[in-house]
Amino acid sequence: MAPGCLCGFRPGVGGAHARGGALTRHPSHSMFPHGGWVCGLSRRLLTPGGRALPAGAAQGVRRPLSSAPHAPQICIVGSGPAGFYTAQHLLKHHPQARVDIYEKLPVPFGLVRFGVAPDHPEVKSYGAEEKRELGIPGEELPGVYSARDFVGWYNGLPDNRHLCPDLSSDTAVILGQGNVAVDIARILLSPLELLRRTDVTRTALDSLTHSRVRRVWLVGRRGPLQVAFTIKELREMLHLPGTRPRLDPSDFQGLEDITKDLPRPRKRLTELLVKSALREPGEKDAAHWAQAERQWGLRFLRSPQAVLSSEDGGRAAGVRLSVTRLEGAGEAAVAFPTGRVEDIPCGLIFSSIGYRSLPISPALPFLARQGVIANSMGRVQESPGLYCSGWVKRGPTGVITTTMADSFDTAQAVLEDINSGVLSCSDPRAGAAAVRDLLLLRGVRPVSFSDWEKIDAAETARGVAVGKPREKILDPEEMLRLVRP
């Protein structure tokens, strides 16, 4: 899953706060509430991986830019990959630009810090603020969790630090077949010695140590040709130590004949699924699977209908699935109920059916059904000087490379508007100074980049002490005490 950022331009100051988007705009009273904190990053920019941008990143203009007496000052709200990639492109192609990035948390980097899985530091990815509801009876029962909350919990997102998921069931069902669903399955089934070497939170590691989960089903309403996870994620699951796959051969009959006509990424993924389900495993895999104490499997053509409760009604005890059929082919295939149902007993259920961005301000044109800001190539409709990038621009689709290309496109739209004169740099603007004055007026003390470096150093030191790359601080107030003795 990929992030979003809201970025806006009116040479100078920035506007509204968002997760799942980046924005550049004129001053807005909605940006900072009374009290609280703001993490501000400027001058020294880093890539989403946490490294400083190379010295040449601010050189080499792709197309000539109109000269202006005042350099453009750009505010980006949201310090996830969409925000940083947008900033990177702007600085690379307009050396005179000044970019300030604002974040609502005391720590930067968004999904890079709070993303999909601690054992995938190179691809951590999610970014919209709100999870999608299942809309079925029983989803409020204890034992039912959203993928977003669970991912935030084991990655140390402050909002999710009190989740305390109950992992006492031997069977877990994940409703969804995307990369986030596979990440959750892998975290639930991974040997502890592997997780101990990651930056998974201490709280999560303690809970996983006592977990009784031994079987995980990933459920999708469509078929093998529509799974949303990538081949890399599948390979890791197939070779996860101490774990074996359970794939029903009948789900894959006939797919060998049509793989040659599929796009290359889908072709390779389908070939691996078919090989794993229909062919005898090699000697190494056979020996590995024979000794496995845990298992995972894919269930296709199943749509959640209801969460079943325990006899006392106190918690989830299973999930009822509607058996579906497909009409159409490929990505356009649509699932329809057949009238048949199937129950899976389980005490742990995750909803991994996607995320939604939230409206940022009543003044912005927000399309609630799609969960995006109305825009054209990143230009927010009816809001000159305001741009968006990431999931708040295109919806919750794609991976980190999708976000990178998307952010570059938005940044290029800003540059084109500067070059064409749509955005004027002829008048001086207060820029970041106006934001500092606004923060002072509202009693908000910002967390600077140097402050973040103190938090970073403390987390790194705590991690080294226990043999991990980092031990994240979960409580924002504890973070602030480190920078405000």
- List the CATH number of the domain containing 435: 3.40.50.720
Given the residues 70, 120, 149, 170, the one annotated as active site: 120
pLDDT of residue 242: 95
Is 183 catalytic? The answer is yes
Beta strand pairing call for 243-246 and 294-299 = parallel
The answer to whether residue 138 sits within a structural domain is yes
Structure tokens at 326: 């497909």
The residues that bridge with 52 in the sheet, in sequence order, are: 46
Given the residues 174, 360, 373, 400, the one annotated as active site: 400
pLDDT band at 357; cut points 50, 70, 90 = confident
Lowest-confidence pick of 199-213, 298-312, 328-342, 422-436 = 422-436
- 245 and 152 within one domain: yes
The answer to whether residue 471 sits within a structural domain is no
pLDDT over 70, % of the chain: 80
The pLDDT of 32-43, averaged and rounded, is: 40
Is 401 catalytic? The answer is yes
33 versus 98: the higher-pLDDT residue is 98
User: Is the confidence at residue 122, as pLDDT, over 80?
Assistant: no
CA atoms within 13 A on the CB side of 63: 9
The pLDDT of 238-243, averaged and rounded, is: 95
- 380 and 396 within one domain: yes
The pLDDT of 18-44, averaged and rounded, is: 37
pLDDT band at 110; cut points 50, 70, 90 = confident
- 249 and 192 within one domain: yes
CATH number where 139 lies: 3.50.50.60
The pLDDT of 360-381, averaged and rounded, is: 87
Is 86 catalytic? The answer is no
The answer to whether residue 464 sits within a structural domain is no
pLDDT digits over 411-438, tens only? 999 999 999 988 887 777 777 888 889 8
pLDDT band at 370; cut points 50, 70, 90 = confident
pLDDT over 90, % of the chain: 52
Given the residues 100, 183, 199, 406, the one annotated as active site: 183
pLDDT of residue 402: 83
- 71 and 139 within one domain: no
The pLDDT of 350-359, averaged and rounded, is: 79
User: Is the confidence at residue 459, as pLDDT, over 80?
Assistant: yes
The answer to whether residue 470 sits within a structural domain is no
Is 373 catalytic? The answer is no
Domain interval for residue 279: 133-353
pLDDT of residue 23: 38
The answer to whether residue 478 sits within a structural domain is no
- 186 and 291 within one domain: yes
Average pLDDT, the chain: 82
- 86 and 64 within one domain: yes
Count of structural domains, the chain: 2
pLDDT of residue 434: 86
- 341 and 295 within one domain: yes
Residues 264, 226, 3: CA angle, nearest 5 degrees = 85
- 368 and 307 within one domain: no
The answer to whether residue 288 sits within a structural domain is yes
User: Is the confidence at residue 149, as pLDDT, over 90?
Assistant: yes
Lowest-confidence pick of 46-50, 347-351, 443-447, 468-472 = 46-50
359 versus 467: the higher-pLDDT residue is 467
**Cβ(378)–Cβ(408) under 8 Å?**
no
- 345 and 374 within one domain: no
Residues in the chain: 485
pLDDT band at 5; cut points 50, 70, 90 = low
Whole-structure pTM value: 0.74
pLDDT of residue 112: 67
Lowest-confidence pick of 8-22, 244-258, 318-332 = 8-22
Given the residues 209, 239, 338, 401, the one annotated as active site: 401
The pLDDT of 34-52, averaged and rounded, is: 40
The answer to whether residue 467 sits within a structural domain is no
- 87 and 30 within one domain: yes
